[in-house]
Each structure stands twice: as C-alpha cells, then as structure tokens.
Structure 1
Amino acid sequence: MPRNPILSASRIRAAALHIIDRDGLDGLSMRKLASELGVQAASLYGHVSTKDDLLHEVAAEILEKVDVSGFEGGDWCSGLRSAARSYRAALAQHPNIVPFLAYGPAHREASLRRLDVVHGGLVAGGWSRREATMIAAGLMYLVFGAALSSFSSGFSEDQALYRDRYPNLDKAHLLPGVAQELDHDSFELTLDAFVTGLVARAPG
C-alpha cells in the first residue's frame, strides 16, 4: 500500500463536489479538499491549477447529464423540452453549485458544446440566429430560476400568518408540504407555456 493516497482527476472532482454538496460553494477550499483526500494541498496542483479551474471541471461533469440530443433529430420543440428537463434534474442533484453555473457558459467547454447544439438546432428549425440566441437564453432563465430555490421555501406552515391578512392566500401554509410536487408541476407548466408560445411564433 502506498503511504499517500493515489490522486486522480476524477477523485479530486468527486471530493470537491462532495464538499460543495455538504458545505456549500463557499465551503470549498484547496486546503479543505486536500484534507478530505488525505494529502497535502501542494499535491493537488499537479492535477488542477486553481480552485476556479477545478470548479469548471466539476461543472463540466455535472453538465454531461444535460441531454441535447433532441435537437440533432430536427425537432427543436422536443429538443427544448428534453434539454430543460435534464438540465433541471442535473442541477437539482447539486443545488449548491448552481450559483457558479449561473455565471454563464463563456469559459466552460461542456456548456459551449451544448449551447452550440441548441443554437444550431434552432437555426436549422428556421429561427434566425438572433432569435435562437434569445430562445437559448430564455431556456436558461427557466432552468436556473427553477433550480435556485423552491417557491414554497419562503412560506410558513402557520395558517394564522395568512388567513386574516391575505384572504387569497388562506392555503399558503400548506405549500411547504407539497413543495416537490408544486415545483415539478410549476416547472412543467412554465416549460409548456414557453414551448407552446414559441410554436405560435415559429417561422414558416
């Protein structure tokens, strides 16, 4: 057995993501990561240059689960739906990294490759390049808005807080108990409205 644990890029990424899931994005440091892996911090730099580079690598691994294959079949509606659902599912598994991903795709190869497929699929479907950019942006707004927090999270389960002062919210205290169902159904409603609205405006 080697005295020091054997490091690999995949093991470093997995440990970093574990820390982010457990302690939040600000909880990740190279020193803490090294401790988690049982090595000295200097050992990490043979595999990753900076914490920011590591975050991009972790993000790329998460984004591998985003399915943009629907665009390659020529059906941009199906492509939008499958991309949105798989993107939301990938982010839901690791919500603490969402703020980092929300900065945009400009420095991430994995994000740019998927965006290229989305953009190309929309243009092939008859949309102008400007319109394709707007639709892709709209898709990101929808996905990240759904991933950042649960709509129900801000509501109290105390009925008295709403019953008298807000008569139209007299059932608001029930929302935390159905948070998962509400978030899913609300996302699907919004996604359907988004795609249906685009179909009504589609060129040709």
Structure 2
Amino acid sequence: MGRPRTPLLDRARITATALELIDAQGEFSVPQIARRLGVQTGSVYHHVDGRDGIVELIRERVAQGIDSSALDLRPWDTALKAWARSYRAAFAAHPRAVPLLMTNPVRAPRVLAQYEAAVVLLLASGFALADVMPVIVALENIALGSALDLAAPEAMWELADETATPRLAEALAASAGNRADRAFEFALEGFLAHARRRLEA
C-alpha cells in the first residue's frame, strides 16, 4: 500500500482534536487524541513535545483570534480597550480552555510576542516598569473572567421566593439583558480609569 495522500497526523490535526475535546469536556488526554485520529498514542508524541506541547499549540490556536494589531493603536488606553475586547472574544469561543491555559506557563513564541508588544506600549506611554505586568495581568483577569461569564446562563440567580430577597429581585429586573457585556464594560472602564490615575501619579 502506498502512503495516504493526506497525512493522518500532523500538529494542526492534533491541536484541532485536543481543542474539540476541551470544548466538549473541559480536558483532553493524549490517548483520547490518538483514538479520535485513529493512530497509536506513541505516534502523537512524534509530532508534539508531550502534553505541555499540545497545551501550547492550543494556546496559539486560541490566541490567533486576538487582534494583536490593537496594540498598535494610540493612545494606550484605546489600544488596551480594543485588545481586551478582542482577547475576551477569542477566549469566549473556547471558555473551557481558560482554566487549562491559565494554569500552564506561557511558552508559545507568538503569544509571548503579544505580551512584548503590550509591555512596549505601556512603557512608551509612561508607566513605571514595576506597574506594567500588574496592568497586563489585571486586564487579562477582566477579559478571561468575562469570557467565562459569557458561557454562563443569562439568568445566574434563580429566586424561588422573591419576597425573601426583594431588593435582589429588583436589581436583577433592572439589569436584565446583556448581563455579561454590561458587566465587562463596567469593569473595563473602571480598570482603565484606575490605570490613568496611576499613570498621572
């Protein structure tokens, strides 16, 4: 038999399969990937640097959805706002990947390049070196938390008896519709306002 025209296994197929598993069940294993692709587990390891290598391939795949050109915008707060919205949208497409990616060190060169661009932006805008990473991590926390929130039900509070929590019932009624989007914008504006004050100080 000759070789198949389309290879059974490559990094792109491994990444796509792992991401499908994560989207479905929140986790993946190399044997699961192999079974889905119809190959031996050992064959997968010929294409990737173990499980951690697959995690980084997933990170790169998800991060492709982030508009890194947003970091070229000026002024800095316009750039961070656009980057945060794009960041949130990219991870909202794969919310179950968030816990996995956030508990593994970032090694993917293309992802690190985005962080480099963010650091350069903040330093050029006058932020103290010691403040740069707290600003970036805080912005990530807002974007990733909201990405998870987008995957949650619109009605997160179920009141069996509204008379027991009447003010909560009123607040929920007053904020109905686009809960996650409104909360994200509220947090983002508050974060940027604090960052502006920090910069001015």
TM-score by length of 1: 0.84
* Corresponding position of 2:22: 20
SS in 1 for 2:200: coil
Is 1:70–1:76's contact at 8 Å kept on the other side of the alignment?
no
Within 5 A, what are the aligned runs for 1:38-117?
A: 38-103=38-103, 105-117=105-117
The alignment-based identity, stated in percent, is 30
Within 5 A, what are the aligned runs for 1:1-204?
A: 2=4, 6-25=8-27, 28-103=28-103, 105-149=105-149, 150=152, 152=154, 154-156=156-158, 159-161=159-161, 163-171=162-170, 178=177, 181-203=178-200
Describe the superposition over 1:88-108 as per-residue Cα deviations: whole angstroms up to 9, x where unpaired.
101110011100222265433
Structure 2, unaligned runs of 5 or more: none
SS in 2 for 1:170: helix
CA gap of 1:51–1:104, structure 2 versus 1, over 3 A, is closer
CA gap of 1:169–1:124, structure 2 versus 1, over 3 A, is same
Residue type of the partner of 1:83? W
SS in 2 for 1:65: coil
Range with greater deviation from structure 2 (64-73 or 15-24): 64-73
Q: CA deviation at 1:15?
A: 1.1
CA gap of 1:15–1:117, structure 2 versus 1, over 3 A, is same
SS in 2 for 1:95: coil
CA gap of 1:13–1:106, structure 2 versus 1, over 3 A, is closer
Residue type of the partner of 1:11? R
Structure 1, unaligned runs of 5 or more: none
Is 1:74–1:124's contact at 8 Å kept on the other side of the alignment?
no
Residue type of the partner of 2:51? K
Is 2:17–2:33's contact at 8 Å kept on the other side of the alignment?
yes
Is 2:8–2:37's contact at 8 Å kept on the other side of the alignment?
no
Residue type of the partner of 1:167? P
Describe the superposition over 1:51-70 as per-residue Cα deviations: whole angstroms up to 9, x where unpaired.
22101111111112222323
SS in 1 for 2:61: helix
SS in 1 for 2:67: coil
Q: What is the count of residue pairs matched by the alignment?
A: 197
CA gap of 1:160–1:144, structure 2 versus 1, over 3 A, is same
CA distance, structure 2, for counterparts of residue 171 and residue 38 of structure 1: 55
Is 2:76–2:122's contact at 8 Å kept on the other side of the alignment?
yes
CA RMSD, aligned part only? 2.7
Is 1:4–1:39's contact at 8 Å kept on the other side of the alignment?
no
